């Protein structure tokens, strides 16, 4: 029987060593001079501020590849004290907990391990599991009075999005911070382009968001979903990862939501599963046309095939006499006709964006800022991605109103998993 329940992640745990941890930290430090050059395009970010005011006890839920990778940035910040850690797989929890110096009594494993982290005495929690588990984990953490730092996307279905939306509102009411970790809006070059679009471009004609990845492992299914909790296999399953449009493309869709400040009212699309031996239900190629109340056209297309296509996460914007590009990597760009363009390199965003978001998370906690604006945008972006996914799967037009009314859940089958 399928049931929506607890969590868990995870990916390749081989990097959970002190050597791997320190190596990753040194790589992030080496990027410092490059980041400084980009800072001329924006005001000083929280990441550049000095000595942390105090240590915040933090717990980590999901310690696989990215879950482990992100812990080094919390360590590097200096304002967080790793206090507890959880992963579905006990060997991962033990290895990563040991590398972080977490007491053996606070290294937890199993499908309900996130509850033990919440009850361990932490002030804040970092959620890095497959996103199908985010709504339950985040809502439980907010109920317990914790600050929440969460990866993307916010959820995989409409019920999950609505639960995250409610958790964000409750966090604000409880005077707690809830931050969703998207990187493109943190970049100074992207920020300058958005500033110029809003000040100079006028009415927008068209937005085009693009997500091209190099494919995803989709190994055969086994008796339980354990094998799909590692190595990003969950990206191939809508119930666990939302499909490629949410697990990867969502960055470019989020950039569109950041710029536009609103979600579409309808979508028409087409998608197909094209990989040779599919086991999950995510589409590999997707094309969607989104509609907005003011007539704006927003097309999105994505692909997740190992065909050596250059990886891309970008959002292109077109007005009557100007055009612009927001990028995850490469150049951010703005040009009005017959004028010299503004262009600037987006530098090391995967690492730099996380560092900036962690600094923002810390500053919001210590300064008592509980607006939690990333939650609203994350929910809008996620609902937009879901609208596109569902319209494309049906090869039809679907309105946002119809999608919300359907309120269709995607259940995670946790039968046979360790408690």
Q: Are residues 160 and 201 in the same domain?
A: no
Q: Are residues 333 and 218 in the same domain?
A: yes
Q: What angle do CA 304, 354, 308 make, to 5 degrees?
A: 25
The CATH number assigned to the domain holding 285 equals 3.30.360.10
SS3 labels along 197-249: HHHHHCCEEEEEEEEEECCCCCCCCCCCCHHHHCCCHHHHCHHHHCCHHHHCC
Do you find a cis peptide bond into 390, omega within 30 degrees of 0?
no
pLDDT at 14: 40
Q: Are residues 20 and 56 in the same domain?
A: yes
Q: In what order do the strands lie in the sheet with 56-61?
A: 107-109, 80-87, 56-61, 124-127, 147-150, 178-180
* Residue ranges making up the domain that contains 41: 13-183+367-375
Q: What angle do CA 374, 212, 182 make, to 5 degrees?
A: 15
**pLDDT tens readout for residues 287-319:** 999 999 999 999 999 999 999 888 999 999 999
In a domain, 77, yes or no: yes
Instruction: Kindly report the average pLDDT of the chain as a whole number.
Output: 89
Q: Are residues 208 and 151 in the same domain?
A: no
Q: Are residues 176 and 298 in the same domain?
A: no
Q: Are residues 205 and 245 in the same domain?
A: yes
| CA separation for the pair 100, 110 (Å, rounded) | 19
**pLDDT tens readout for residues 53-63:** 899 999 999 99
Phi, psi torsion values for 336, nearest 5 degrees: -95, 145
In a domain, 356, yes or no: no
Q: Which two tokens stand for residue 285?
A: 């190629």
Q: Are residues 153 and 241 in the same domain?
A: no
Q: How confident is the model at residue 49 (pLDDT cuts 50, 70, 90)?
A: low
Q: Considering the chain, what percentage of its residues have pLDDT values greater than 70? A: 88
The total number of structural domains in the chain stands at 2
Q: Are residues 208 and 149 in the same domain?
A: no
The CATH number assigned to the domain holding 149 equals 3.40.50.720
Mean pLDDT of 70-82: 95
Report the C-alpha dihedral over residues 69, 75, 81, 83, rounded to 10 degrees.
Answer: 20
Distances (CA, A) of 107 to 59, 66, 74, 409: 10, 18, 18, 31
| CA separation for the pair 67, 267 (Å, rounded) | 33
Mean pLDDT of 191-197: 98
In a domain, 250, yes or no: yes
| CA separation for the pair 204, 299 (Å, rounded) | 13
In a domain, 1, yes or no: no
Q: Are residues 227 and 257 in the same domain?
A: yes
3-state secondary structure at position 299: strand
pLDDT at 207: 98
Q: Are residues 173 and 231 in the same domain?
A: no
Classify residue 20 as exposed, middle or buried by CB count within 10 Å of its CB (0-12, 13-18, 19+).
middle
In a domain, 412, yes or no: no
**pLDDT tens readout for residues 360-397:** 999 999 999 999 999 999 999 999 999 999 999 999 99
In a domain, 179, yes or no: yes
Q: Which two tokens stand for residue 156?
A: 């995989």
Q: How confident is the model at residue 355 (pLDDT cuts 50, 70, 90)?
A: very high
Are the CB atoms for 261 and 401 separated by under 8 Å?
Answer: no
Q: Are residues 209 and 282 in the same domain?
A: yes
Classify residue 254 as exposed, middle or buried by CB count within 10 Å of its CB (0-12, 13-18, 19+).
buried
| CA separation for the pair 334, 195 (Å, rounded) | 10
Mean pLDDT of 327-332: 97
In a domain, 19, yes or no: yes
In a domain, 362, yes or no: no
Q: Which two tokens stand for residue 288?
A: 């969607």
| CA separation for the pair 273, 284 (Å, rounded) | 5
Show Cβ contacts of residue 184 under 8 Å, excluding neighbours closer than 6 positions. Answer: 190, 251, 252, 254, 255, 258, 313, 315, 326, 327, 328, 349, 353
**pLDDT tens readout for residues 266-294:** 999 999 999 999 999 999 999 999 999 99
Q: Are residues 152 and 277 in the same domain?
A: no
């Amino acid at each position: 029987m399928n049931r929506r329940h607890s969590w868990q992640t995870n990916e390749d745990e081989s990097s959970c060593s002190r050597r791997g941890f320190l190596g990753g930290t040194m790589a992030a430090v080496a990027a410092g001079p490059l980041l400084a050059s980009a800072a001329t395009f924006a005001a000083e970010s929280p990441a550049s501020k000095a000595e942390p005011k105090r240590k915040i006890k933090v717990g980590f839920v999901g310690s696989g590849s990215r879950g482990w990778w992100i812990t080094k940035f919390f360590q590097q910040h200096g304002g967080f004290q790793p206090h507890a850690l959880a992963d579905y797989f006990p060997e991962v929890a033990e290895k990563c907990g040991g590398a972080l110096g977490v007491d053996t009594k606070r290294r937890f494993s199993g499908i309900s391990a996130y509850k033990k982290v919440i009850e361990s005495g932490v002030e804040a929690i970092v959620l890095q599991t497959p996103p199908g588990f985010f709504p339950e984990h985040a809502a439980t953490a907010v109920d317990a009075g914790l600050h929440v730092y969460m990866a993307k996307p916010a959820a995989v279905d409409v019920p999950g999005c609505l639960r995250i939306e409610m958790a964000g509102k409750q966090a604000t009411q409880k005077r707690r911070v809830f931050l969703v970790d998207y990187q493109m809006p943190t970049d100074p070059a992207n920020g300058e382009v958005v500033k110029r679009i809003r000040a100079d471009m006028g009415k927008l004609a068209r937005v085009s968001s693009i997500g091209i990845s190099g494919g995803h492992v989709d190994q055969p299914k086994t008796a339980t979903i354990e094998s799909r909790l590692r190595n990003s296999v969950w990206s191939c399953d809508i119930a666990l990862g939302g499909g490629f449009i949410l697990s990867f493309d969502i960055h470019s869709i989020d950039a569109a939501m950041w710029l536009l400040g609103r979600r579409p009212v309808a979508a028409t699309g087409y998608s197909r599963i094209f990989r040779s031996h599919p086991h999950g239900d995510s589409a590999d190629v997707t094309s969607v046309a989104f509609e907005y109340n003011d007539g704006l056209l927003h097309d999105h297309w994505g692909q997740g095939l190992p065909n050596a296509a250059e990886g891309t996460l970008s959002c292109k914007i077109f007005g009557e006499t100007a055009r612009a590009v927001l990028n995850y990597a490469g150049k951010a760009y703005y040009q009005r006709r017959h004028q010299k363009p503004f262009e600037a390199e987006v530098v090391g965003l995967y690492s730099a964006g996380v560092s900036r978001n962690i600094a923002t998370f810390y500053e919001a906690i210590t300064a008592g800022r509980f607006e939690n604006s990333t939650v609203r945008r994350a929910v809008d972006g996620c609902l937009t991605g879901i609208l596109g996914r569902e319209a494309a799967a049906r090869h039809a037009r679907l309105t946002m109103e119809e999608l919300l009314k359907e309120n269709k859940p995607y259940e995670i089958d946790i039968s046979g998993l360790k408690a």
